[in-house]
Amino acid sequence: MKRVVFLIDMMSFYASVEKVYHPHLFQHPVVVAGDPVRRSGVILAACPVAKSYGIKTAQALWEAQALCPEVTVLKPRMQLYIDISTQINELFLTYTDQVEPFSVDESFIELTGTVHQSQPEQTAKSLQKAILRQFGIYARIGIGENKILAKSACDLQAKKRPGGIFHLHKNRLANDFWPFAIGELFGVGNRMEKHFMQTGIRKIGHLANYPVEELQHRWGINGELLWQYANGIDPSPVTPDTHQQKKSIGHGMTLPRDYHQRTEIFVILRELAEEVARRTRDERLIGNQLSLGIGGTYENPVGFSRQLTLNMATNDGRVIYHACQKLFDRHWVGTPVRRIGLSLEKVEPDTHRQLSLFDEVEDRSSLNQTLDALKDRYGGGIIMYASSLTDAGQALERSKKIGGHYK
């Protein structure tokens, strides 16, 4: 029995939601962007009308306004988008219990073994109509017998067709999939694209017909995985808990200005450490490896990415912060910093802990639980280190946001 998998993508999701709440803007160019005053003026979503002027996602706001001076700029409302995304996924559950959110505006669903399996195109049209009727949002749907085919059908074909639906059959890869540029293949980033181009692999079909042994020898398991994708091979299941099986928990921040002083940078390191620790505790996990990434400025892009194994697994912010200090002092060369990323890796359930014979152990779990309860009830800005109230601190401002954007 062939599987039937959908990848459902909400077109210009943030902008589409805003047009539902601002119906007078339905025929007008609309973009959702960050706060230009804090140098986060980047286009997060552009409606089709705005795109007709050449406006693109991730474009600087000033560039978009130069292309279309009459464009309406709306600040993002992340909590609203998350709530509507959740409601849309609840709609999918009326078709199948195998629903896997892939991002806030994309979901995989599996119809194999359901009454909808025999007529996937008709089911896709039914879903489109239901989403448009209930939420006012237009969806594009890719259909395939596995997740890579469904994703490719949506991204490469459905998004470019008036009906917004495309079924990528495995016996049609040579016609409907292989002619696309290698950079269009899911999983191929800019660096890998350059490697492939240097090898003479310019199309997805070139990769599909390339000796897999050579790909394995040069790029290891990643080379073989991309070869499988190019040939439409993907045995991974559609499962609701796929993204709940975490291997790491991280948090990153682009700073509103260049940070030059070690003391200022440490304020951000402490804030990130506390945020990562809190999220780790929320998942009832602990981790024993720390990864710290420091990004420089556009003019001076010197940075580093390093890891440190902790003496014992933890979800305590103070322990994570002190480890960050060590990593930073060991590798920072004094150049200005514009971005910081921190993650706690090799996480496992917080059901037992390995005690160290050499380190003093202080039980801070009760204190952390109290702090978490306060923040859950009153918000993340209710209590924080005094250093976060200095000019360097960002915790108070970020407590008003979700995913780096205002709620």
The Cα–Cα gap between 67 and 386 comes to: 44
| Residue 97 annotated as part of some ligand binding site | no
Q: 397 an active-site residue?
A: no
| HEC assignment per residue over the chain | CCCCEEEEEECCHHHHHHHHHCHHHCCCCEEEECCHHHCCCEEEEECHHHHCCCCCCCCEHHHHHHHCCCCEEECCCHHHHHHHHHHHHHHHCCCCCCEEEEECCEEEEECCCCCCCCCHHHHHHHHHHHHHHHHCCCEEEEEECCHHHHHHHHHHHHHHCCCCEEECCHHHHHHHCCCCEHHHCCCCCHHHHHHHHHHCCCEHHHHHCCCHHHHHHHHHHHHHHHHHHHCCCCCCCCCCCHHHCCCEEEEEEEEEEEECCHHHHHHHHHHHHHHHHHHHHHCCEEEEEEEEEEECCCCCCCCEEEEEEEEEEECCHHHHHHHHHHHHHHHCCCCCEEEEEEEEEEEEECCCCCCCCCCCCCCCHHHHHHHHHHHHHHCCCCCCCHHHHCCCCCHHHHCCEECCEEC
| Residue 258 annotated as part of some ligand binding site | no
Catalytic residue of the set 18, 100, 106, 271: 106
- Tokens 């599987």, located at residue: 3
Residues facing residue 144 across a β-bridge: 5
As annotated, the binding site for Mg(2+) includes: 9, 105
Q: State the catalytic residues.
A: 106
As annotated, the binding site includes: 9, 105
